[in-house]
Structure 1
Amino acid sequence: MPPTWPPPGCALPERRAPRASSPSSSPTIRPSGRTAYAVGLDGPASISTIAADLAAAGYDVPALPDPAVVMRQLEDGEAVAELPLAAYRDLFARLPRDFAAAVEAAWGPPEADPAVRDGAFRLAVLRAGNLAVAVQPDRGSRTDRAGDYHDPNLAPRHGYVAFYLWLRHALKVDAMIHLGTHGTLEWLPGKAIALSATCVPRVLAGALPVVYPFIVNNPGEAAQAKRRIGALTLGHLTPPLTTAGTHGATAEIETLLDEFAGAQTLDGRRAGRLADAILDKARDSGLADDCGLSADLSREESLARLDAWICDVKDMRIGDGLHVYGRAPAPHLSDGTLDAICGAAGADRDHVRTALGASADAERHGLLAALDGRFVAPGPAGAPTRGRLDVLPTGRNLYTVDPRQVPTRTAWELGRRTADEVIARYLQDHGDWPRRIVLDLWGSATMRTGGDDFAQALALIGARPVWDTTSARVSGTEILTLAALGRPRIDVTLRISGLFRDVFETQIALFDDAVSRIAARTEEGPDENPLIEARGEARIFGAAPGAYGIGLAHKVVTGAWTDHADFGRHYLSASAHAYGAGQDGAAAPEALAARVAGADAFVHVQDLAGQDLLDAGAFAEHEGGFAAAAALTGNRPALYHVDATRGGEAKVRTLGEEIARVVRGRASNPRWLAGQMRHGHRGAAEIAETIGNLLAMAATSGEVGDRQFDQLFDATLGDDAVRTFMVEANPAATRAAAWSFSEALRRGLWISRRNSVAAGLAELMEQAA
């Protein structure tokens, strides 16, 4: 079956209808308090700018109300379109019989759907001339949104089906602008590629052209949208970046450290008093715990470690607000992004400034060209902060890496060095070589970096890629001798994401082959080669074929868990399908449990500047989920979060260290909060998201302390200005944030230093209702 949209480089024929009479739709995503939530994008503001650009291009689109008004109308049921039940039944009867049966088996008759009132489906739609701004309905149950998001078997509910039937048959749109990363349409049941007429995305969207503004640094999920809904994915800029700087106790201690440095050469007695004051302040504020100051360290060692930790946090790259599609950030907001890109690529600052400035026009023109059915130039997806200047300007039709070239030569060098850093940190912490490591691989990260993380896996087992000299494609691996390696080999287990499974089949086979050859080198002995002891065992695990994600976050946000072991069981169940070694996705729960139980360390590599482990629930699902699974087996492996955001250097931190760093440096930072507050409804949702993700990380990993909750509460709902902003800008997000803090208290994950917090949260939830 041909795709519903041409691949990059092709053009659609000119539309037969003039612009003024051609309706289009722009659906957004709706979790709790998160209407129009898209990664890195201010969806509400982008809706307004897109509408203005359409009007300027000759479309019959009047000016929209203020974004806050649009969001209120969509969320409160003031903006509604209807599809009568009778019309729905008629359209539903024309759909493939097996699909219709699956919908009814899962959800019952259409009149039972919560979107049906007075004999019609009520859909959240705001009409503005020939533009319809619509909220994509929940795919499944509102109480289990996260769990339903990537379910490969669950048919969408009637209200979801009705929405797409209404778009195509009632409104009869010419095109759909799917605003932001990412929705649920491309994750519905069916084949991963080459969809048939009975695959659900094809059933619902048909041949409807899908124009999909997508954050430029997410190639994996952009590829999913291309493969499964034929989307033309238009890359857009990431949010502006800045450095974290210092604030609160960190800023006070930084000032004292500067005074101490000056006093050391002038007044030794005063320097001693300052040193004591610094360490007292560090203990009182929790900074001593954050940076690992132990009683056996000398005063000088403690001060040096504290100074290094503050410098590390101070230089951390954080987002400064959000991107608005087709609009350039204010000049003063571009400096941090320029610093990050030029620092990574060593590029000329004026050249990068020009490329960034051209992105706004390119995004606008790309969208209009797509709606006109004109050619949209292809452009690579990737992270400009990792040296990928070729992704600028944005506004082009995204394409990704050639999987046959992964890992690239550059990625191999970076991955090899990162493997050495992980080993060095483990040696420092434990005094011995690690024998077994579980490495967490995400498809999008592998695409962005050219395979840094996969290269790390090869380096750890003692293999290196071999490239074809003419094509740069990886043709195999060379097994390094123990003499060349200079250390024992490490037995590596890969936990791969669903996108990695779908895209990197060659790498799965490559790793599997290298493992088999290394395990056969029995002359090396098990002390130097632990793979010998487990010859033939599966070492690559992930979700079932066709499934994506782990789905742990929904347990947290719905409160549907009893104890920590629930998360461990869920992780093991969601990850228990083996790949490689002839397994091809076969269920192997005992094999996975054995690998988890025997692991010395777990490693997750983060490659994106401006992103951290409290940005999305997936980090808690993977890192926290593994911690829970290991605890269930009686194991307590080291948990390492590798910061590879600066490309040439990697910093290995424990999971606890990274959480503390992110809470201090970004989540409780007035600079980051001010950036989100510039974006009203969407910014409030981002703040609530961070709070919810801290709860998820606490529940799953056990690595979040009371101080982290205290810091985040004091900076958000405990701060008069931030709390007032959230209540006014997004009451639903305020309720979600208050619920997260309340749930942490109720579950014993947080013991607040103030007794009044629980009552204040309950009152706030009522106020924001």
Structure 2
Amino acid sequence: MHILATSSASLDDLAEPIDLRQTPADVVALSFTDSDLAGLAAAWKADAARLPSMRLAALRDLRHPMSVDLWIDSVARHARVVLVRILGGYDWWRYGCDQLAAVVRERGIKLALLPGESHDEDQRLIEASTLPRAELDALLGYFREGGPANMAALVQRLARLAGSEAAVAEPVGVPKAGYYEPSLGVVDRPLSKVGGPSPPSLSCRTSPPQGGRSAFTGAGAYSSKASKEPSATPAIGETVDDRAISPPEGEMSGRTERGATELDVDNFAVVPILFYRSMLLAADVAPIDALAEALKLQGMAPVPIFVSSLKDPASLAFVEAALAALNPAAIVTATAFASGAEPGAETLFDRAGVPVFQVIVATTRREVWENNQRGLAPADLAMHVVLPELDGRILAGAISFKGEIETDPALAFRAFANRPEMDRVAQVAKRIAAFIRLQRTKRAERKLAILIPDYPSAPGRTGYAVGLDVPSSVLAMLHDLKEQGYAVEGIPQSPRALLDALEADGQGLSSEDYLRLSAGLPEGARDAVRAAWGSAEDQIGLREAPLSVLSDISPSGGGIGSSAAGSPLARPKIGESRAQGMIFPPEGEMSGRTERGATERLPLKAAAPRHFPFRAATFGNVTVALAPDRGRSADRRADYHDPALPPRHELIAFGLWLQKSLGVHAIIHVGAHGT
């Protein structure tokens, strides 16, 4: 459904004054990122009895100048040390930087203004700070490396600057990229246990291999021997119990002492999950854990990989080596933006050669997403939807939103963390499983649905799209699919014959099947449909649809170029006019078009009294169809674009018919559509 989103805003709408109502403290820290604040909070609470008082605040709450002034007067001017980490640098918090710089110099307070991007240098932040350059670099080093140990050392260093006798430790290096296992943390090799819960959070020591089928051979590399035993691998998309593959007699099982299994790259669809290292360092990986578990339950082998950035050379090299070793069926990434390759240059994902699914770990708060018709906030739409499309990533959906966790009164800080949305996580896992299932199905066995537009416009413009001859395009696709090994039979000889077939085939879904299949839909959704349209029984057998008309935009004028019946479309040879390569009706017969371009419509077959009829025709394993109206045919323009209006029973029945009755693996939309 295409919805035109229009909105207006002023500067006053973008931020409102907020009084954080914090009390003074010796050390004050601010940041745009929840991971920074969560790490500092955890480090301070672990040793609070021996540390000076601390206050934390999110810069998103201090965007309005009045909020900044209130906070400086009540908190900052009474502190001994103020640390601010600004994502985007000086320009993103210009007013706050200027006011703080003036106050701390007046009162002799130590101020450290640090860039949010650890690799960048912002000379204006350095000049506004009161600490020496070496001290600023040291403080930034703790953020650059990250992790609980470095956050603890950072808190100790801030305490020392505030006058405490705390011991000071230098930053400790943490890998820029590596493998991660839910409940275990960072591991030196991928571990996976398909179909069951993740192993417990204990140390993991792999049993020594004794000729096992999968042996670790180097950094991120695997070698495998083919097993002669039949595989116990579950079908992709099938929810499974924990079914381990038994090793040949005399071999080790490959399980670790604590219950984890080494990754079996031969028998499972391996799906790496790329996510930001900052999530790991802030212990904010619940969405990744949930997604990994959901993929396992769908019969896949997830391999979580953390990266500092896909623009970081070390991270990029690690991921390249990991993908080469794992031979994945697909990739899931929770990283934002595009990969950063130069125009025309190959990206990491191009070289991988497999589909890449984008999942959204949203910064939008859940209640905002739920109550806003637009859904995600503009920043999330830009970072996770628009820019990743430049890499050709496939949007799989949001898996988590920001949610408030327990407020710590000692820090006067409202902490937010990534909260997985479990039904969305399951939906994403099913989408990926469906794609891999399609990928692994032989072409001759794949079932496809091609939907052509029936978009609201002037009556009778079925199959119309601006600048596209939809019926002729569909016929060309049917021929191309047949050439590529798909089971396609009985291809119509003309666009007119195709549209006639859609009206005459008499396909549909019985009322009994609809009631049975729709019972699996969420109860709230079923209630909304009944409230808007009444019971399903009231709509069964109805067929509100405009007359089918083929617009006169086809260069063939109703015929289709072909060298022989059922052969691929023929293009005119050099020196031959297009008309010479076309098939026309026998002399004296009409092509099926009226003088004004409309097609004559065959009478509808009488619908069965307990039946949802669909305009569809099946050609082997490919079904071509027109989707039923989403709403009232008399108000098609308004109904198609009304996000609050649930679809009619007939459209829901159509979707269930495609999914459950026909069992289609994929749907292809041709031209405009409003469903």
- Same fold, TM exceeding 0.5? no
- The structure, 1 or 2, with the larger RCO (C-alpha pairs under 8 Å, 6+ apart) is 1
Using structure 1 for the length normalisation, give the TM-score. 0.28
Using structure 2 for the length normalisation, give the TM-score. 0.31
Q: Which has the higher helix share?
A: 1
